[in-house]
Structure 1
């Protein structure tokens, strides 16, 4: 589904600091992945490369065997992947259901039911929702897309333990029941333990932990 092939990345500062060094990884549908590693190890950079928000210095990112730059990064972001962020990134002047409809053509009402947002919240401004509710709306928005890859950057970072567990279950369901490829960057040991496969980024390399 999604493949990183011999990718290297570094920041062009006075002294080049290698973030990723000749990394190759394959990701498959129906699997819930987490990516862990020390702060500054390159986890968010790696996710940005998968999302087409940044480009590798060397190597390529492939979607279904095709370099994502061939059809363009905008195409990749619009059709192949959906994103969930730690700070939700909802449109704060829109209602709950309007935010979900922005994600794609899937039934917004059904998606909100799936993620546990009751009808009484659908027409409220999203700022009137709790943090956990906003993250559920963000996941519903991501699922509104037909994209087969869901990428999440610290999706439980701002949530209490109970709410975080509910979000983790939603992510697992997205992979196992909907058959999507779910890739999550996290500092949370608990979240990583719930994944099917765990990758660690350290010293420019990506290791398979489980």
Structure 2
């Protein structure tokens, strides 16, 4: 194999590997966004139920945890650092309805109503760093009982897993097609350039 062919082959392999890595990276970014949207912090409950919004942490002594509601960031609850004292909102929408787990900072809303639907923001201050987590809560009112009710089923975890599996398979096929297409295109370009390379070698 001539030096020119070796150089072209090395460049071909590099281009193919780079393209495959880029396709895989893009694929997993898109897949992560879809999974986050499907399995994100969205909570759907019926009116009168209780709901718990989880912080997914174990509270440390110097943590300061604050819960807010709505676009105006209405104060809902707070756990002070060091003392761990809990302060609850005096807002009439949340009075006598909210509790906070003193070990995890989870927010518990009892006897929830449709007026509690909306976005909840969790603010955690730890070691001079601040992190946020958002939840979207939808409260459905009880519908009047009909003689021949139409049954509406919410998406179950099994259904969501099925949707994710289909999306994953779809993106996998697309990723494979793109990689194969790029590989074939690069090979065709190399093959088409071989006569020119051979001519250059003969002239030398």
Q: Shorter-chain-normalised TM-score: which range? A: under 0.3
Q: What TM-score, normalized by structure 2, do the two folds share?
A: 0.25
Which of the pair has more CA radius of gyration? 2
Higher relative contact order (CA 8 A, sep 6+): 1
The normalised TM-score by structure 1 is 0.24
